Every structure is written in structure tokens, then in C-alpha cells.
Chains A and B, each alone.
Chain A
Amino acid sequence: MPHRTAPVVEPLGDSYVLVTFTDPSEEERWLRAHTLCRAVDAAGVPGIVSTYAAYDTLLVEYDILRLDSSTLVALVGGMLRAASPEDEAWVASTALYRLPVLYGGDVERVAADIGLAPAEFVELHSSEPIRIRCRGVGGSLMMSNPRAVPQIGRLPSPVIRDNRVGEVNIAGRQCSLGFSTGRATTGWLNIGRTPADVAGARESSALFRPGDRIVIEPIAADDWSDHRGRPVAVEGADL
């Protein structure tokens, strides 16, 4: 295993420990956080209530009457020292989804902000598979943009918007596929929507897992009804 930076392990209050990875590579930070999360889950430590790995962190929630922060910090340290390259093999066998997306919404504004024509932005944004980093609010798929897409500014002031299932949103170096409905305050910009049936899969622990990859396939407005309500094409999911 290449030389790696020791993560920062810190208690947050009396019921949580946060592990933050600081390796130079975004991919490595994410992979280490999720590999550690899988190890903690598999260990079945009595007193651990929940785990959540995001882009470069793992938050572990514990019951203060069954564990204490120093024991948990020591356990996490032991797991990190015992980690081997094989632990990360799971990322090679993740699923790939082909997601039809009709680009639109704020896409002209986003493209203009980074000096591109809308069609150039669409080509760039759909140029390579992107990984699901974690599941956000309402089950949304939190992803990173293709590396060639420059940083996208958030709205200067958050707005209240009606969410629709299947919307693709963008902010910073991240993009997301939303499953939420209802009103929410957001600083993200909307760049399109998929007509495919993604809502049916949002509660499945076998679909849209962290590590799975999404290939965005841009579609024309005329093709929307052909794709509407159809299941997402998936390769390699362990169903």
C-alpha cells in the first residue's frame, strides 16, 4: 500500500467520533473513508449506533453508556493499522448505471460562468463515468463532477425551490441526483433531469451504492417520453 497520510480522528460531543482523511487525492480520501466504514460495520462493535461515510470523512455514532470516545478512537486506529490493499477490492466490483438526462434548467448560466457554450458544457459533464460518493438528504446521489469540469459557483443567496424526483443539480465540484420532493432551501443550480424511474430504487440497499458509477447519456427533449418511467440500465449490480 502506498504511503498514506494518517487521518484526523476527533470526538464530536459525547456520542460521535469523526474520522477525516487528508490524503492529497480526492479519490483516495473517499475510498479510505468508505473502506473504513465497511470495516466498522462488519466488525459489529457493540455500542455503535450508526456510521456514515461521505466524501472524505466517516462519522461514527455510539452509545455513551456502552462505549467511550477513547475506546472508539483506539478501535478505529487499530482498524486503520490492520487495513490491507485487499480491503479496497470492493471498489472494483461496483455497478454501472446508464442514466438518460435531459440537460436544461440553469445549464446556460452554468456554462456561461465557466466560459463554455451549453453544448460544450453538456459534452464535458457527460464525458466520463462519475462515482456515487454517498447518499445525501432524501437519498440523493452525491457525486463528483468529471475532473475536467471547473469549479461551479453556488447561488450567492440560497433560494426556496420545489424539488422533483430525478433532478440533476450542481455546486462546487459536486453534482447530485435528487430523489426528494417538496420545498427546500438550496444554493445549488439545476442542470437537468432524468425521465427514468429512479424513485423506485431509492430505498434499495443494493442499488445506487457508494462507489457505483453513473454514465450520463444526454437526450433530446423529443426523446423524453421514450425514456419516461423506464428502469435505469444497470451492469454489475448484485441484485
Chain B
Amino acid sequence: MTMGRIGTAAVRVVDAFAATVQDLGRTGYEQLGVNRSGASDTFSARAANILVGNAVDAPLLEIADSAFAFETEDEVVVAVTGARAEVTVDGTVRLPRWEAIRIPASRILRIAAPEAGYRTYLAFAGGVQADTLLGSVSPLPARSFDNPVPAGTRLEIGPRRGAPLPRGAGESLAPLAEQLLSRSTIAVMQTAQAAMFADMARLYTEPFTMSPRSNAVGARFDGATPVRVDDTEITSRSVPIGSVEIPSSGELIALLRGRLITAGYPIPAVIARADLDAVAQLRPGAVVRFAPIDEDAARWRVFHQESALRRLLELRENA
């Protein structure tokens, strides 16, 4: 299987289980019923692209809780971010993550299954060539559109746009990268719809355990949830990415970027934008607590994250 069009370099995938081509998804098609989708951890995905000199939304690989390996046909420049996983070349040389690395031709790069976190991101300088639908390579299940990367795929890499960042440039991201993978408290903002529930305090006092039934649509948690007491029928409306739904007692769903555009459940709280990437990196079995945050604090945390990425981009522009 060969993916994409004519590239300037290529690699052949030799080991893969749950890898897909992703970008930042689709914005502007909401009124046609199309959800955002895209990389679940956008911080790690954007960082990987910036490190190798790509546009922040260039197509890259998202590898979910599994190992991945490829053999280079030509020299490529890559960056691995997201979940903590050992990265080696030819089985011996260990490579740093969160850094642009040049890999010569005829080498095998292997990313092990994650030790911490759930989704690993692999960017190639030049971006991965893949089919698009509505301007994005990211899967859109409602349209049976997918870009899986099974073993045997020959990935074509596009022409490089900018120079990769020099060694050490990604070190400034290390504290944020670690926080992404070790978050045990998730910040939420309560909404007026919380009035439809009894025992809302449980959301902030009880532990919640990430369920293996989670996916890119929603992170599911088991725990002692608040209880819905107002069963007024809610007409379908669009719901935020990050919405907390409690479809039945004991079950809580945090909607991620793959969330469907409309829903009919009440939304008693919404996860802070700054914590959505950390939720996408939780592993099944992870125990978290939810904590309230106000708008000013939520904005500051987004600013802090975006500043780190902006500084990397500035490094590139000033190089």
C-alpha cells in the first residue's frame, strides 16, 4: 500500500497497530454537521511539526497506545512528541523526544509502546502525504473517511518548507510535556445546566477512573457521579468540545475533538481548554479528580501553553 502522491522522500512502515494520519482537523464546516476531529493532543502535535520546520497543522502520525516502526528509503528529519516512549534507531541508538532528529537512509526507527501517556506523535519534515476530505487528512467516521497507517504502508514525505530547529530547542517544552502526561486533576468550569443534577459536589470530591471504552469522541470515566434529577427533554443542540456528560449514574463522558456536532444531554460542566490535551493522554485505569477553575485562570493557562509554542516558532523565524 502506498499512501499519498509524489513525495521527496519515503519510509516503509514495518510495525504498526493503531496509527493514523492526523492534522488539526476541520474548522469552518460545523454548519454542514462536520465535527472538528484531528489530533487529540494538539499541543504535542503542533510541537512536533514546529520542531521539524513544518506548518503547525501539517499532516503527521498519531500512534495510540502501541509501538510503531519504519525503515527509511531516504534521509528524513523527524520529531517524536506526546506520550513517553523509548525511541531507537536500528535497535541500539536511543534518540531524544521533543527534538528534530536527522535519520539517514536505510535505518529502522522504532517507537516503543508508551510508558506514560496514551498518544505518541511522529512528524516528518515536509509532512506526510495523505488523502484529504474537506481540507483535512484526519479521520471522519460519519463519512467513512480514514487514513490508517498499517504495517506495509509506504509513506511519502512532502517537500520541506523550513529548517528544523537546532538541538536543544525543544527543551523549553519539557515542563509542559511532563505536565501533559502526569495530570491527575482536571480543571472544569461549571455551567448553569448543573442545576439539573443533585449532588454536584461529587464532581469535585469523588475520584473518577478512566475507562478502556474511551476513544477520540469521548474520554469515559467511572465514578460516583452527580445524579440527574431534572429529566426535561433537551432539544438537540451543538455542544462544546470538552463537554462533561453524565448519560447515566456512575458514568461520565468528557467529549474530545471527535465529538459529534449535536447532542441532547445536559452539560453540567466543561473541561478547561488548557486541560483537553492532558485528558487525551490519560490511560485506561488512570484516576483523576475534577477541580473548578475560573475564566481568568483558564485563560492564563492557555496563554502559558500557547506562549511556549510561539517562542519555538519565533526561534525558527529568527534562525
A: which residues have CB within 8 A of B?
Answer: 8, 10-16, 18, 20, 37, 49-57, 59, 61, 64-65, 68-69, 134-140, 142, 172, 174, 180-182, 184, 202-203, 205, 210
**B248 interface residue per 8 A CB criterion:** no
B95 to A: closest C-beta gap in Å? 33
When the two chains form their complex, are residues B30 and A136 in contact, meaning their CB atoms are under 8 A apart?
no
When the two chains form their complex, are residues A54 and B238 in contact, meaning their CB atoms are under 8 A apart?
yes
Interface centre among A12, A56, A210 (most CB of B within 10 A): A12
A15 to B: closest C-beta gap in Å? 5
- 4 nearest A-B residue pairs (beta carbon): A13-B270, A138-B142, A52-B238, A135-B33
Instruction: List, in ascending order, chain B residues with CB within 8 A of A180's CB.
Output: 142-143
A5–B33 Cα gap in the complex (Å)?
28
When the two chains form their complex, are residues B32 and A12 in contact, meaning their CB atoms are under 8 A apart?
no
Contact mask for chain B residues 111-152; partner A; CB cutoff 8 A; 1 contact, 0 none: 000000000000000000000001000000111100000000
Known: A14-B273, A15-B273. A65 touches B142 (CB 8 A): no
CB closest chain-B residue, reference A26: B235
Partner of A69, one of B32, B238, B242, B295: B295
For the complex, count residues of B whose C-beta is within 8 A of A.
43
Known: A15-B240, A182-B142. A136 touches B262 (CB 8 A): yes
A175–B8 Cα gap in the complex (Å)?
49
When the two chains form their complex, are residues B240 and A52 in contact, meaning their CB atoms are under 8 A apart?
no
A130 to B: closest C-beta gap in Å? 16
A127–B144 Cα gap in the complex (Å)?
34
When the two chains form their complex, are residues A64 and B302 in contact, meaning their CB atoms are under 8 A apart?
yes
When the two chains form their complex, are residues A54 and B295 in contact, meaning their CB atoms are under 8 A apart?
no
A63 to B: closest C-beta gap in Å? 9
Q: Which of B240-264 contact A (CB under 8 A)?
A: 240-243, 260-262
CB closest chain-A residue, reference B29: A203
When the two chains form their complex, are residues A174 and B144 in contact, meaning their CB atoms are under 8 A apart?
no
A154 to B: closest C-beta gap in Å? 10
Contact mask for chain B residues 172-207; partner A; CB cutoff 8 A; 1 contact, 0 none: 000000000000000011011000000000000000
When the two chains form their complex, are residues B306 and A65 in contact, meaning their CB atoms are under 8 A apart?
yes
A22 to B: closest C-beta gap in Å? 11
Known: A65-B302, A181-B144. A55 touches B273 (CB 8 A): no
CB closest chain-A residue, reference B35: A137
**B239 interface residue per 8 A CB criterion:** yes
When the two chains form their complex, are residues A138 and B298 in contact, meaning their CB atoms are under 8 A apart?
no
Known: A15-B273, A134-B33, A136-B262. 14 other contacts (CB 8 A): A11-B295, A13-B189, A13-B271, A14-B293, A15-B240, A15-B241, A52-B261, A53-B31, A55-B235, A56-B235, A64-B298, A180-B142, A181-B143, A182-B144
Partner of B237, one of A37, A54, A181: A54
CB closest chain-A residue, reference B306: A65
Instruction: List, in ascending order, chain A residues with CB within 8 A of B238's CB.
Output: 52, 54, 57, 59
B254 to A: closest C-beta gap in Å? 11
When the two chains form their complex, are residues A182 and B141 in contact, meaning their CB atoms are under 8 A apart?
yes
CB closest chain-A residue, reference B294: A14
When the two chains form their complex, are residues A64 and B33 in contact, meaning their CB atoms are under 8 A apart?
no
A13–B235 Cα gap in the complex (Å)?
20
Instruction: List, in ascending order, chain B residues with CB within 8 A of A54's CB.
Output: 235-238, 262
**B165 interface residue per 8 A CB criterion:** no
Interface centre among A11, A14, A49, A139 (most CB of B within 10 A): A14
A68–B296 Cα gap in the complex (Å)?
9
**B17 interface residue per 8 A CB criterion:** no
When the two chains form their complex, are residues B240 and A137 in contact, meaning their CB atoms are under 8 A apart?
no
Instruction: List, in ascending order, chain A residues with CB within 8 A of B32's CB.
Output: 135, 139, 202-203, 205
When the two chains form their complex, are residues B31 and A136 in contact, meaning their CB atoms are under 8 A apart?
no
A139–B143 Cα gap in the complex (Å)?
9
A80 to B: closest C-beta gap in Å? 18
21 contacts between A and B (CB under 8 A): A8-B192, A14-B189, A14-B273, A14-B298, A15-B242, A54-B236, A54-B262, A55-B237, A65-B306, A68-B299, A69-B295, A138-B33, A139-B32, A139-B142, A139-B143, A174-B236, A182-B144, A184-B142, A203-B32, A205-B32, A210-B31
